[in-house]
Structure 1
Amino acid sequence: MAFYPSVKLLFAGAAVLLVAACGTTDIDQVRTTQPAGASPFNVALTNEYRELAVYEADKMYDWPDAGTWARKGLAASNNQLVLPEQVGDWNVPADKVGELTTARQRLVTALDSSARTKLPADAARAQAMFDCWAEQQEENWQFDHIAACRKGFMDAMQRVDEGMNPPKTATSAPTGTPAPAGPYTVYFAFDSATLSAEGLRIVRTAADTARSEKAPIGVVGHADAAGPSDYNMNLSLRRANAVRDALIADGIPVSRIAASGQGEGDLAVPTADGVREQRNRRVVVLFR
């Protein structure tokens, strides 16, 4: 879907001719479709994709992307399962892939954890704004549009997270010096730097703390003793960067976060060289 401004204008002209020749299009249909028997989530999702499709068609003359959103809106109106866009399907800049991938993981985790039924409007808004963000990031020239879609996603996801994980009833704070927040430890599968659903949950908890603590954040990656030490150093840094990107996707400013890797040099559980140990494959989030 890598369409850039001049190329998209060519597609727009061709699309106008095609519309004239073929009559009704998906974009025409989504303007007036009324979901029949769809779930509340899919009703909201239909409206969100309708808004995206109409805007891209009428304001931006971006017919290819308008058609994509129209088709997703029509599918939602028919109560089909419509998923967020895959980051790999969009030609986004390399330095933006990590943040978008982590954001999608966060969204899908919430959707799979019943956000569609518990918070249909907010979940639908988060999905549509994520798709909008991916599209605008691929185009990578209307920076105000990128920022607006990203903010729309972040705002909606915050409402989803708060609705799915309501705060516990506050208890009386003990007297004396308060204990420091954290640390939070996120564990990884062998030879992996991908956050699991449980890992994302822990990162969200750390992000909630970060919003109240306001202290600098250290994100330190570790590896177990299996594999070459130079490979493990790189792997530990990749894990730290995955957690850093997840914190950024949760709204924590990048300027507050320092990510580093320790490789196999600081084992939580001492082992012989070459030994796999789950508790050593970790990232620790510290408030300094």
Structure 2
Amino acid sequence: MLNYLEKKCHFYLLFLVILIGNGCAYFDIEELKSTPKSNNEFAQALSESYLEFALYEMNEMHDEMDASYFAKKGISARKNIDISPELINNWDIDDEYIEIVNNKRKELIFTLNTERAALFPKLSARTQLGFDCWLEQLEEGWQTEHIKKCYDMMNTGLITLANDINHNTDVVEKVNSIKSNKNKENDIEEAKNIKEIKKIDDVEKKLKFEIYFAHNIYKLNNETKITLKDIKNTYNITNNFIIEVVGHTDRSGTDEYNILLSKLRANEVEKYLISLGIDNKNITSYYYGESRPKVVTADGVREKINRRVEIFLNDNKN
């Protein structure tokens, strides 16, 4: 009888704890909804992002504690209280992730304090939410798809803010839509098949050049543009040339993202060559992401030599 009563008491105690936790999350979320909107665009966007995440944690994941926590962050944001990205020591994260999380937090804080971030408050807010939910998911440690989704939200935002990209363009929408390895395989297949008609088959006739990119950058700087002009003028490149442009990345990002980043790099070089007067019919672009490194590294390693676009020239057009 005592055992029965003891078990029953434990059950009711557990139920009460869950009920109280759920109630706290609910009331915190309702308070966030009713809090007057901030006149600061970033703060308001941040509060909306935290509201979305709090609702997801409560309704989908049934994690009332985290739902309440992020709802309170949203309330503070609406009150124009400075809300920084999550502190790493607030979360119980495996040691293997500590270094990369520290690096990403530093990169995030630097990026959020740039003029470009101020121009895109909604994107900046989503980028910070991506970091925070990444830490929350790393602590839970078992939902690999959720971990990846949060990381990609953060990393896509960081790369977008670091480059001269309008975050409403199809390019960034494509980044955000990459969900699985199937997308990666489709892009790789596209990279293999695109414009095969103009491929240079005689390797001995190729002239090869390489240009390099800073981490997470695909836009051409002035130095690179001068180099491309010099190549065109030195070798008197005309429309009798067949040109292949091949984009690559290092292994510091996800496979899916690197496919797109390598494509952006190749496209930028192709567009600039066209602006120099070369017919686009004579230029073929390929992109392979991180799959063809010049220097072999472990996954996640930054390597300048691998962040490149290769340019092949053949002056014997068939």
- Match for residue 17 of structure 1? 20
SS in 1 for 2:124: helix
Is the 8 Å Cα contact of residues 43 and 78 (structure 2) preserved in structure 1?
Answer: yes
Unpaired segments ≥5 residues, structure 2 = 1-12, 168-205, 222-244, 259-288, 309-318
- Match for residue 253 of structure 2? 248
Q: How many residues were matched structurally?
A: 198
**What are the Cα deviations for residues 130-153 of structure 1, in whole angstroms up to 9, with x where unaligned?**
111110111011122112212222
Alignment partners' CA distance in 1, 2:297 and 2:219: 15
- For residue 66 of structure 1, report the CA deviation from its aligned partner: 1.0
- For residue 161 of structure 1, report the CA deviation from its aligned partner: 2.0
Q: Which range moves more in the overlay, 44-53 or 28-37?
A: 28-37
Map 1:1-288 onto structure 2 (within 5 A).
Answer: 14-17=17-20, 25-37=27-39, 39-163=40-164, 177=207, 179-182=209-212, 202-205=214-217, 213-215=246-248, 217=250, 247-248=252-253, 251-252=257-258, 256=293, 258-259=296-297, 285-287=304-306
Q: 1:19 to 1:53 in 2, by over 3 A?
A: closer
Aligned letter for 2:19?
Answer: V
Aligned letter for 1:58?
Answer: N
Unpaired segments ≥5 residues, structure 1 = 1-9, 167-175, 185-201, 218-243, 261-282
Alignment partners' CA distance in 2, 1:208 and 1:137: 35
- Match for residue 268 of structure 2? none
Q: 1:139 to 1:19 in 2, by over 3 A?
A: closer
Q: 1:207 to 1:36 in 2, by over 3 A?
A: closer
Percentage identity across paired residues of the two chains? 25
**What are the Cα deviations for residues 45-76 of structure 1, in whole angstroms up to 9, with x where unaligned?**
01000001111112222122112211110111
Q: 1:159 to 1:102 in 2, by over 3 A?
A: same
Please provide the CA RMSD for this pair: 3.8
Is the 8 Å Cα contact of residues 103 and 249 (structure 1) preserved in structure 2?
Answer: no
Alignment partners' CA distance in 2, 1:180 and 1:67: 52
SS in 2 for 1:85: coil
Aligned letter for 2:106?
Answer: Q
| Higher RCO (C-alpha under 8 Å, 6+ residues apart) | 1
Alignment partners' CA distance in 1, 2:290 and 2:92: 23
TM-score (norm 1): 0.56
Is the 8 Å Cα contact of residues 163 and 217 (structure 2) preserved in structure 1?
Answer: no
Is the 8 Å Cα contact of residues 137 and 143 (structure 2) preserved in structure 1?
Answer: yes
- For residue 181 of structure 1, report the CA deviation from its aligned partner: 2.1
